[in-house]
Amino acid sequence: ESTEDLKDVIGNISKLKYELQTDKKFKLLDGNDSDQEEWNSFLQSLPDTHNSYFSAVWLHAECYMYRRVRAIFEETATLRDFDYFRKQKKDAFMGSLEAFIRLTEKFNETREAKSRMELQGLFRQLVRLNLWGNRIDLSISGGKIVSQDDDPFAALANLEGYILADDTNAMWECISMTDGNIIVDFVCDNAGYELFTDLCLGDFLISRNLAAKIRFHVKTIPWFVSDVTPEDFRWTLDALKLAVKGTLRDLGSRLSNYMETGHFELIEDEHFWTSPYDYSQMESVKPSVYQSLQQAHLVIFKGDLNYRKLLGDIKWDTTETFENALRGFRPTNLCSLRTVKADLVVGLERGRAEGLTAKDPKWMETGDYGVIQFAPK
């Protein structure tokens, strides 16, 4: 039965490829999935001048392509729940094990640190590891397996000059000037090494009593190749608990205990994160998501796609402030940890973008540069 389904999938993907390459008008989604009505309402609202792969806003075109691929699998009897990107994500995870070990061993050495200055230094390191973990993105590499197999700490000093905007201190003040009884949300991006750094930052916040709960918002369906799904999240915790190295097993057990005690929570059934809407539309389109984020003291948006949705995929002047570019989206304190992989960025000093373009006209596409940007509520 799966053989016939696979034939249908291959044929339908070929048809989709032809539709996109020949710039056919976007089609409405078939099926009974809970996000179908929302998607079709959006597609019907598009003007004819922006309702095909090459004419639409790039954010809409990309999201449409990945949602149509998912729709093809949803129409089958045996492959509805199949994650066609899972093997690449697992391979990337396994290729990063050495970096995981180095990271956990390093932070195990610092577990006795208690002073505010020591904790701030550790937070600063973790935020940077979290930022640069976002470089590993299978949608950018065309699905080619990319992993973190070197020493993550050795690169930090060399990468410091590639951070174009740095609001780490504002993030620290936001978190540390509370009684610790707060919620911190991660709107996740990539599985593998990046998710591991998300979990490590969450572990730090809980173990040092800087937060009471960490919530991880993940994608409901396979998305942009390497994005975290609920199955990826659970598999990661299980893989850590079963690791050969004791330090990883200990971490995996601790993280799983956080899940059992409610210190960690997986938000796994929200389709808004795989919708075509940008985040300035969230409060009107999906108020329940906006209200959920309002419960958090800080929301950390990870990666390039989240950044583009925060900014509306608008070609902003690079010197525009991050706060203005959010266009009123402010459910709570929020920040973005993002390596630059698309041609929009804000919050830069005057002349910085021009200088980078003179050195490399494609600097916005490489993931070599990053931003740590914060906006208070």
* Chain mean pLDDT for the chain: 94
| Alpha-carbon distances, residue 3 vs 10, 316, 357 (angstroms) | 11, 48, 49
Residue 246 lies in a domain: yes
Residue 71 lies in a domain: yes
Residue 81 lies in a domain: no
**Does residue 69 sit in the same domain as residue 115?**
no
pLDDT, tens digit, 9 for 90 and up, residues 26-53: 999 987 788 999 999 999 999 999 999 9
For the whole model, what pTM was predicted? Answer: 0.95
Residue 19 lies in a domain: yes
For residues 326 and 361, the answer to whether their CB atoms sit within 8 Å is no
| CATH label of the domain that carries residue 370 | 3.40.50.10880
Residue with tokens 């490489």: 366
For residues 136 and 93, the answer to whether their CB atoms sit within 8 Å is no
Comparing CA positions, the residue from 334, 274, 340 lying closest to residue 300 is: 334
Provide the pLDDT for residue 149: 56
- Whether residue 345 is predicted with pLDDT greater than 90 in this model: the reply is yes
- Any residues with CB less than 8 A from the CB of 92 and at least 6 apart, and which? 136, 138, 145, 146, 147, 191, 192, 193, 226
CA dist 152 and 102 (Å) reads 8
Q: At what angle do helices 116-133 and 168-176 cross, to 10 degrees?
A: 130
CA dist 327 and 325 (Å) reads 5
CA dist 250 and 32 (Å) reads 42
**Does residue 241 sit in the same domain as residue 99?**
yes
Domains held by the chain: number: 2
Comparing CA positions, the residue from 71, 42, 38, 69 lying closest to residue 56 is: 42
Q: What is the residue range of 49's domain?
A: 1-75
CA dist 183 and 175 (Å) reads 10
**Does residue 69 sit in the same domain as residue 95?**
no
**Does residue 57 sit in the same domain as residue 91?**
no
pLDDT, tens digit, 9 for 90 and up, residues 182-227: 999 999 999 999 999 999 999 999 999 999 999 999 999 999 999 9
